[in-house]
A = this chain, B = another copy of it.
Amino acid sequence: LLHIKNKIDKDYKQEQPLFLGIDGGGSKCKAILMDQNNTSLGTGISGPGNPVYGSELAKISIVESASLALTEALLNSDISQELKLNDICAGIGLAGVNLPHVYDEMIKWQSPFKSIYLTTDIHIACLGAHEGHDGAVLISGTGTCGLSNVKNHSKIIGGHGFPQGDKGSGAWYGLNAVEAVLLALDEMAPPTTISKYMCQVLKASTAEEIISKVAGKPASFFARLANTVFSALEDKDEVALAIIDEGASYISKMARLLLKTTPPRISFIGGLAEWIIPYLDQDIQKQLSPSLFPPEAGAVFYARHQTASLK
C-alpha cells in the first residue's frame, strides 16, 4: 500500500502536476485545485481579490482561497498529505493587471506558491469558457467586457468601468433604472413601474430618499439595482424594455465585432447573461455556446499553458 501511495504522490508531483487556479474579483476571490483531467480536487472562496483597490488585501484573499482549496483537497483526495502551496504552480487572473503599475506590484510578490502565472480576469474567463482553447466571451456582471482569443491574437472591447463605460452591465442597468425613476418622479419622462421595485429594494418612498441612498455609491451597489429593470418587464413596462434593449444591443454589437475574429466558440457569461440573452439579436443568440468551465479553471489552463511553453 505504501508503495502505491508513493507512486501516486510522485505522479501528482511530477508527471501529473496539480495546478491552482485563482479568480480574484472585486467582491470575492475563488480558487480551484485541479488535476490533469480537469477534475476539481478542492475549491475555496475568500474576500476581495481585486488588486486595484489594495494589493495587500488581494494577496491575503488569494492565499486564503488557495489554502481552503488545498485543505479541501487533502481531506477528500488521495493526494499526499505533505502537499503544500509551495509545491503548486498557480494561475492567477486579476482585474486591473492590464495596468502596468498593478501588474508590476503583483508580479514582484514573494508568493507562497511554487510559481505564479498572472493574467487578466477576462482572459481566464475566456480560457475557462472554452476549456483552454481559442474562443470569445461576452461578460456582463457588475461591468461589461468582450474578449476574443484566436491564434494568439486577442481583441478586447469595453471594460472601461463605471460610470464612463460598461454599458449593458449590472451597474449600467442599475444606474439607468435610478435615472428613469427620478425623471419619472419629476414628470420629465414617462412613468415607469421600475419605481415600484426601486422603492422596495431601497426601502425608499420619495426622490430625496432614493437619492440619499444611491449618492456616491460604487458600481457594485448600482449593480444590485439591475433586477428592478427586469422585474418591471412583468408589467410590460415600456421604459424598462427600452433600457434593456439599449444594453442588449450594445452586447449584440460587441458580439458582432468579436465574431469578425472568427473564434471557434463564443459564450456569454456573468450574472446578467441569462437575463440579457433573450434580448440579443436572434442571430447572435443562435451562435452562443455554453461556458465549459468557470474562470478559476481558466486560470489553471493558463498556468498549464505557460509551464508547457517554458519547457
Contact = CB atoms under 8 A, between A and B. Distances in A.
Interface of A: 98-99, 157-158, 160-161, 163-165, 167, 175, 178-179, 182-183, 186-188, 207-208, 211-212, 214-215, 250, 253-254, 257
Nearest to A178: B164
A182 B160 contact: yes
Contacts of A98: 208
A175 B187 contact: no
Q: Which of A182, A186, A187 has the most chain B CB atoms inside 10 A of its CB? A: A186
Contacts of A215: 161, 164
A110 to B, nearest CB: 27
A192 to B, nearest CB: 15
A215 B188 CA distance: 29
Given A98-B208, A208-B99, A257 B188 contact: yes
Contacts of A208: 98-99
Contact of A188 (B187, B214, B254): B254
Given A188-B157, A188-B250, A164 B257 contact: no
Contact of A163 (B165, B175, B257): B175
Contact of A179 (B157, B164, B186): B164
Nearest to A214: B164
B250 A158 contact: no
A179 B207 contact: no
Contacts of A163: 163, 175
Nearest to A185: B160
Given A164-B215, A165-B182, 7 more contacts: A163-B175, A164-B175, A164-B182, A164-B214, A165-B211, A167-B183, A188-B254
